[in-house]
Amino acid sequence: PKTARILRDGLEVEVSADAIVVGDHIVVRPGEKVPVDGILLEGYSAVDESMLTGESLPVDKKPNDPVTGASLNKNGTFTFSATKVGNDTVLAHIINMVDEAQSSKAPIQKIVDKVSGYFIPFVLVAAIMTFNFWFFILGFQLNYLYKPIIYAVSVLVVACPCALGLATPTAMMVGMGKGAQRGILIKNGEMLERACKIDMVVLDKTGTLTTGKPEVTDVFFFGTGANPQTERELVLLAATAERKSEHPLGVAIYEMGKKQSTEMEMTSSQAFEAIPGKGIAAVLNERSVFIGTENLMADNAIPCGIADKVLSDLRAGGKTAVLMAVDGNLVAVFALMDKVKESASSAVAALLKMGIQVCMLTGDNELTARAVAKNIGIGHVIAQVLPQHKADEVMKFRQQGKVVAMVGDGINDAPALAAADLGFAIGTGTDVAIEIGDIVLLRESLMTIPEAIRLSRKTMRKIKQNLFWAFIYNIMGIPFAAAGRLNPIIAAAAMAFSSISVVLNSLRIGHFKGDTKSPLV
């Protein structure tokens, strides 16, 4: 939009969209476009974000939800605070990335450039030899000079490497443009070419295969008897301890405790430490609290035998168990379930059908990880991997000779994304993962992963077809021209037709369909 309504001293003032600054409060009414990126403050609405994600269904927005510039407000009026303006907005970043990607060269283009470097001198030599052959060897007199010249010119015209130069960039531009339309942002031509060679996809679990928003389903208490007051106190203690945690499991425990208490009841912890891959340690009211994995409990010499059966049953059911100890004693086990994304099973099935191996990488314990993987259809699982070791697991696959793609969304996935041959970053994830990822998937659906690979395969097939036709015209045309069987007019028409055929063949990539029923080219 060219203009926007911002609040100044409680009044709506219409200003140019270029005049918006970070922190401005902006009002958006039904049917209007969101001018910049921001966080919704007041109101509720459904926003059409298809320009960004390709998804046709509007997304419900409520206070504290992000809104993106250029998306369309369907119904409801809301006020939001601007967080990113100008060249910092998501749309501006997408435009810059697409511009850079379409101007980049794929490795195959570099090969074509090298071939062209030899091809052009060859054609010049062929034209000179044609002239010499017709003029000197066959003994044409000076009054017949025009024929050797015409035949030599015919060689030059029919061998014009226009089609050869168009073969790769036209297909790359159409392929990347189609990817952007489908919510697949490919950062450069090299990544588009590399995607067609992938033979193994490694998927992070939390936030990638699952929604990343686990919920507490059950709480098991130990040593509290039937005292509900004591149980409530433990839940409150756990929620207070997890208040500063940024881990999805910790946030889920905090949210559960918040529903059963008030903010006033949650006192600040006197000490807090997040232990990566294991849990947290905190001190509240001079009580030592540990919440996390069995490894955390073992590190602090806290016996967990009393919970063995509970833990076994939870893991068999695909739930994640979080243990809680107070003053050196195990007092509770929280059972959490992270909902699997609807598109996970179909995406894995599509990858397997394409002949690509699939592996799930997670920090969860073996039993829980395998239960989730079984529901999705993944046979290869690597569990209990600490964040800093994810990249090591990816490198192991590469050392086995596999071309590996890593799919992740979190900060802890960033090293693995960088270590893989190709990194797929979920667009709804963290800025770090998106920055490092080679391909950014703007849509929530995991079907964009096989779509991106199929798009790469189709684009590379079109490039090879283009190169074939470009070379075949030259290989067939040069002998005819040198033999005097092709005048310059026909040679020019053949050369033009070869360029047109390359462009039209590249444009066929635009008919690419993203559904799983499309040919796995």
Per-residue tokens: 243: 């208040």
Annotated active-site residue 438? The verdict is no
Left if phi > 0, otherwise alpha if psi is -120 to 50, otherwise beta: which for 98? alpha
Which residue among 9, 48, 65, 204 is the active-site one? 204
CA–CA distance from 508 to each of 42, 260, 476, 512 (Å)? Answer: 46, 58, 25, 8
Cα(508)–Cα(506) distance, integer angstroms: 5
Side chain identity at residue 420, one-letter code: A
Q: At what angle do helices 448-482 and 344-353 cross, to 10 degrees?
A: 30
| Closest C-alpha to 405, from 374, 442, 359, 363 | 359
Side chain identity at residue 115, one-letter code: V
Torsion angle, CA of 204/60/347/316, rounded to 10 degrees? 60
168 Cβ contact partners less than 8 Å away, ≥ 6 residues apart: 106, 108, 109, 112, 463, 466, 467
Helix (H, G, I), strand (E, B) or coil at 145: coil
Q: In what order do the strands lie in the sheet with 59-61?
A: 59-61, 45-48, 72-75
Instruction: For residue 336, give the H/E element and its range.
Output: strand 329-337
**What's the gap between Cα 60 and its chain centre?**
22
Catalytic machinery residues:
204
